[in-house]
Amino acid sequence: MKFSLQMALRFLRSSKGQTLMIIIGIAIGVSVQIFIGSLIQGLQKSLVDTTIGNASQITITNDRDDKLIDDHKMLMDKIKTTDDDIINITAVYDSATFLAIDNESQSLLLRGFDIDTADKIYDIYDRIYLGKAPIKDNEIILGKQLQEKYDLSLNDRIDILTVDRVDQVFTVVGFFDFKVTSLNTNWGITTLTTSQTVFDSDGITAIEMQVDEGSVFEADAIAAKIAEQLYDYDLKIDNWKDANQQLLSGLQGQSVSSYMIQVFVMISVILGIASVLAITVLQKSRQVGILKAMGIKNKVAGQIFLFEGFILGFLGAVLGILFGLGLAYSFTIFAVNPDNTPVVNLYIDWRFIFISGIIAMIASTLAAAFPAIRSSRLNPIDIIRNN
């Protein structure tokens, strides 16, 4: 095997230009794989983060007339033990109200949170660009669009009207920006106790939770486990996958197209390596014939070209990984939004990159199998006589 490796290195060095071209060809194939794969994964991660990254991924509600969930602390303790991938959970009291300012009014979804636990889902503290989070009773924070529409300032007092025509006065202690107009326009965030007091209730309207980042696409299975755990409570359990079928379909379409492109790129690389090495067998047929005449076995002759394929694949994979990372990084620099943020954030999955490199090496070695078989069948007497 050592002799085969030495001869493979000698053959490759004897045709440096040809060797370099093959390595560059493999590198381009690997770099395209890594670039497309990283781009698609980055795009998918960005879409998922934008859609559900700061939102409830599993939501529990009650279908009964008053829509309230009782004994929510006990239920939340049960839910936490259902699956280790449940990382954030919070209680919510939501209700439709009306915001009245001067002579104007509009609908407002009053959301009562345990601010500290809800922050782990919604990043409330980071979204507040002016003021602070509500802490005391009847404190509220409103969205950016509402601040601009009504020219509101900190410590302004506003009226919140319930559907039962109960008027509550709130103090505006902050303004948030979720980067989503509908939320900035329709949400009013207060404490859970304030919301319960306003509506004279000890219950809540929903339990919201998020799962570990690596289990986002398993949210439906986790929701099913929760449903089984809470079977006796007759609650409604929704998950983000059921509510975003079109998004999932789009993500699956992106993945399939990415895999198809990568497969065809790798096929072209394999064909290119096989054809070039086949030509190399013809070019080196005299040397192979002489080696066989000197006593090397057919198996050893075939191993020479297998080693060539492996070496070419290894060097091409290393160079391709560097090319692919450079291409992906360049894309985030030159493909930017008007605010200079990347159109698609750079996402580096080292496992995917490692697998791409390994596949290139295996493909190169397999591509060399055809020339190896051909070289092993060469008759040294015919080769020497013809040359």
Do residues 99 and 106 lie in contact, with contact meaning Cβ atoms separated by under 8 Å? yes
Determine the pLDDT at residue 194.
93
Residue 56 falls inside a structural domain: no
Please say which residue of 212, 234, 256 terminates a domain. 234
**pLDDT for position 345:** 72
For residues 198 and 162, the answer to whether their CB atoms sit within 8 Å is yes
- pLDDT tens per residue, range 209-249: 999 887 888 888 999 999 888 887 888 999 888 877 777 67
Q: Are residues 88 and 212 in the same domain?
A: yes
Instruction: Say if residue 349's pLDDT is above 60.
Output: yes
Distances (CA, A) of 193 to 159, 189, 209: 18, 12, 19
CA–CA dist 39, 344 (Å, integer):
7
Same domain for 116 and 11 = no
CA 2: distance to chain centroid? 44
| Measured distance CA(76)–CA(80) in Å, rounded | 6
> Which pTM does this prediction carry?
0.69
Are the beta carbons of 211 and 57 closer than 8 angstroms?
Answer: yes
Q: Are residues 304 and 183 in the same domain?
A: no
Q: What is the total count of domains within the chain?
A: 2
Give yes or no for residue 375 having a pLDDT over 70: no
- Say if 155 falls within a structural domain: yes
43 & 71 share domain: no
Same domain, yes or no, for 217 and 262?
Answer: no
CA distance 327 to 350: 15
Do 180 and 318 lie in a common domain? no
Place of tokens 């949170």: 113
Q: Is residue 241 part of a domain?
A: no
Residue 240 falls within a domain, yes or no? no
Residues 90 and 161 in one domain: yes
pLDDT band, very low/low/confident/very high, at 145 (cuts 50, 70, 90): very high
Residue 242 lies in a domain: no
- Cα gap 170→123, rounded to integer Å: 22
Q: Which contacts qualify for 260-264: CB closer than 8 Å, 24 or more apart?
A: 261/32, 261/36, 262/32, 262/33, 262/36, 262/37, 262/356
Residue 299 lies in a domain: yes
Work out the mean pLDDT of the chain and round it to a whole number.
Answer: 82
Q: Is the domain of 114 the same as that of 187?
A: yes
Element (H, E) at 281: helix 245-283
67: Cβ contacts below 8 Å, ≥ 6 apart: 61, 205
- How far is 258 from 157, CA to CA, in rounded Å? 54
User: Are both 198 and 221 inside the same structural domain?
Assistant: yes
CB atoms within 10 A of CB 280: 23
Region 106-117: mean pLDDT is 93
Question: What span, in angstroms and rounded, lies between the C-alpha atoms of 218 and 6?
Answer: 50
Is residue 218 a part of any domain in this protein? Answer: yes
Domain end (from 208, 234, 260)? 234
Residue ending a domain, choose from 179, 207, 234:
234
| % of the chain at pLDDT higher than 70 | 86
- Mean pLDDT score, 156-177: 90
Rounded to 5 degrees, what are φ and ψ at 111?
Answer: -110, 115
The predicted-structure confidence for 196-214, as pLDDT tens digits, reads as follows: 998 888 889 999 999 988 7
Same domain membership, residue 278 and residue 347: yes
* Amino acid code (one letter) for 251: L
Q: Coil, strand, or helix at residue 173?
A: strand
Same domain, 139 and 204: yes
Q: For residue 378, is it within any domain? A: yes
Domain of residue 175 covers: 63-234
Rounded to an integer, what distance in angstroms lies between the CA atom of residue 368 and that of residue 278? Answer: 8
**Orientation angle between helical segments 298-334 and 2-14, nearest 10 degrees:** 60
Domain identity same for 82 and 222: yes
Question: Cβ contacts of residue 300 below 8 Å, gap of 6+?
Answer: 3, 4
pLDDT tens-place string over residues 79-107: 988 888 999 999 999 999 999 887 888 99
